[in-house]
Chain A
Amino acid sequence: EPEVTQTPSHQVTQMGQEVILRCVPISNHLYFYWYRQILGQKVEFLVSFYNNEISEKSEIFDDQFSVERPDGSNFTLKIRSTKLEDSAMYFCASKGTGNNQPQHFGDGTRLSIL
């Protein structure tokens, strides 16, 4: 069964550094998402993306964050200048077209900011 893949599985970065989290959505999916989960807390929506532009973003997704689909397969989340509170598990998801399609998630990238 097709999967959403995310790399790296774990990223350790110094505060203030830029980080790029990578995702390869399922190949025929057109809707893409990033969520995050701070340790022990709920999964929170960051941003959704369709047709090469952001569809919706949450309050968390401030100017430090950006997303890009640089080619036909990758979907990236960039954090420009990381803060300690950015430490979390980041999940990428994708969804096909058609009614009531579920979102399929990757295994996540654990981001640790030192």
Chain B
Amino acid sequence: GDSVTQMEGPVTLSEEAFLTINCTYTATGYPSLFWYVQYPGEGLQLLLKATKADDKGSNKGFEATYRKETTSFHLEKGSVQVSDSAVYFCALVVSSGNTPLVFGKGTRLSVIA
């Protein structure tokens, strides 16, 4: 079946460091890819998305590029802030309609001042 694999956390970085959270996927069809973020005590918020190969999703300084050849959708940010501390989930959905999201296990990021 479809699946998402994320790098294990937790990830601890100093403020202004460069962030990469790896995400790879397997899918039977042509998926759309997403990053969701969960801040402490809150729900899941869509951070960015990409729907076809070579698309780059971006939001709040975060970026991820849909790489079909490597089946990857790595999340990057050039300079993290303390407020970026959260759990980040990579997810995919194959086809449109009512298909459910398939999530990775999540990666906890802690940014220290």
> Given A56-B100, A102-B49, A105-B43 in contact, is the A43-B32 Cβ separation under 8 Å?
no
> Given A42-B105, A102-B49 in contact, is the A55-B44 Cβ separation under 8 Å?
no
Tell me the complex Cα distance, A72–B86, Å.
Answer: 34
Count of A-B contacts judged by CB separation below 8 Å: 63
CB < 8 Å neighbour of B98 from A41, A43, A50, A106: A50
Tell me the complex Cα distance, A16–B98, Å.
Answer: 32
* A100 adjacent to B51 (CB under 8 Å): yes
Tell me the complex Cα distance, A40–B42, Å.
Answer: 14
Tell me the complex Cα distance, A48–B91, Å.
Answer: 16
- Kindly state whether residue A45 has any CB partner on chain B within 8 Å: yes
- Kindly state whether residue B25 has any CB partner on chain A within 8 Å: no
* A43 adjacent to B103 (CB under 8 Å): yes
- Kindly state whether residue B46 has any CB partner on chain A within 8 Å: yes
* B36 adjacent to A105 (CB under 8 Å): yes
Q: Which residues of A contact B21 (CB under 8 A)?
A: none
Q: Which residues of A contact B43 (CB under 8 A)?
A: 6, 91, 105-108
CB < 8 Å neighbour of A91 from B32, B44, B97, B102: B44
* A45 adjacent to B98 (CB under 8 Å): no
- Kindly state whether residue A65 has any CB partner on chain B within 8 Å: no
Tell me the complex Cα distance, A44–B101, Å.
Answer: 9
A47-106 interface (Cβ within 8 A of B) = 48-50, 55-56, 58, 91, 93, 95, 99-100, 102-106
- Residue of B whose beta carbon sits closest to that of A34: B100
A93 to chain B, nearest CB (A): 8
Q: Which residues of A contact B32 (CB under 8 A)?
A: 100
B51 to chain A, nearest CB (A): 4
